[in-house]
Amino acid sequence: MASRKDAVVAEIEKKITKAFEVFDRESNKTVDVREIGCIIRSLGCFPNEAEVQELLDQVNIEVEDPSGFVHLDKFLPVMTKVLLDERFQPIPEDVLLHAFESLKGYLLRQNVILCCFSGEPFTQEEMEDMLNVAVDPETNILHYRDYLPKLVID
């Protein structure tokens, strides 16, 4: 029904707006473009970095915005569609566990570092962060069974 859909859309738009506001430092409906990935993920989506960039391109599609800020008015329609279409659904935990298991034997610290540089490479900060939390300093091994629950927080 049309009105039900409208209600759903309104709910989604409010949700996006509120998440946006948390990062909107100046309360002027803009956020730093580097925070967009954070906002998208906090709304429950699970894009990789390339997909985040793709969304950003859609947002900035009309005007080349050199200032490094994204305006809510541009972000809202793009993000609303993402949520309505239920894109970028999180991959279930057991798949994640599977991923760790397939890397068994490679989870020494040095190899973890190597992993960080493959795929969509981590930044220095991300890598250090993960290493500090995930790798046992004494054995230098990533115990994925301990780490997994930390990744899969509610």
Partner 1 sequence: SMIRAAILIQKWYRFTMARLEMRRRYSLSIFQSIEYADEQDQLQVCNLPFFLNVEILFEKPDVRKVVDEGLCLKEFEKKIDVPDSYYGPRLSFPLTAEDANALLHAFRNEQLLHARYVLQLLSETRRVLKEMPNITHLSTSYSKEITVCGDLHGNLDDLLLIFYKNGLPSEQNRYVFNGDFVDRGKNSMEILIILFAFLLIYPNDLHLNRGNHEDYIMNLRYGFTKEVSKKYKDHWKQILCLLRDVFSWLPLATIIDSKVLILHGGISDTTDLDFLNALERNKVRDRTDVGIILFSLKNSAVQIQHLCINFCYCDSNFYFFFFKLKSLMRPPKSVRDREEQTKKRIATSKASKHTATQHTAVKTQHNPPSGSAEPSGSNSPPDPALEEWKQILDILWSDPRSQNGCTPNKCRGGGCYFGPDVTAKLFARYNLKMLIRSHEFKPEGYEISHDGKVITIFSASNYYEEGSNRGAYIKLNPELTPRFVQYQVSKFTRTIESAALKSLREKIYAHRSELTSAFAQYDTNGTGRISVNDWAEAMESVLQLELPWRMLRPQLVQMNPDGEVDFMSCFYDLKMGQPTKEAQPALAETLCRYRKDLEIIFNIIDKDHSGLISFEEFSQTWRLFTSHLGIEVEDDSIDKLVLSIDYNKDGHIDFNEFLEAFHVVHRLEKKWCQKFH
* Binding region for partner 1 (CB under 8 A): 10-11, 14-15, 18-19, 21-23, 25-28, 37-42, 46-49, 90-91, 95-96, 99-100, 102-103, 106, 115-116, 118-120, 122, 126, 129-130, 150-154
Looking at 69-123, list the stretches that DSSP marks H as alpha helix, in order from N- to C-terminal side: 72-84, 93-102, 109-117
CB of 81 to partner 1, least distance (A): 19
Residue that is written with structure tokens 């040095």 in the block: 110
Nearer to partner 1, 62 or 110 (CB): 110
User: How far is Cα 47 from Cα 26, in angstroms, rounded to an integer?
Assistant: 27
Smallest distance from partner 1 to CB 138, Å: 19
Q: CB of residue 97 vs partner 1: minimum separation in angstroms? A: 10
For residue 140 the two structure tokens come to: 């230098």
Measured from the CB of residue 59, what is the shortest distance to partner 1 in angstroms?
A: 17
The smaller minimum CB distance to partner 1, of residues 49 and 57, is found at 49
Helix (H) or strand (E) segment spanning residue 50: helix 49-59
Tell me the two tokens of residue 41.
């993920």
Reported as half-sphere exposure (CB side, CA atoms, 13 A), residue 34 has a value of 1
Q: Which is nearer to partner 1, 62 or 137 (CB)?
A: 137
Return the number of the residue (28 or 61) whose C-beta is nearest partner 1. Answer: 28
Nearest approach, Cβ of 100 to partner 1 (angstroms)?
A: 7
Closer to partner 1 at the Cβ: 58 or 69?
69
Asked if 44 and 90 touch (Cβ cutoff 8 Å), the reply is: yes
Q: Give the number of other CB atoms < 10 A from CB of residue 88.
A: 19
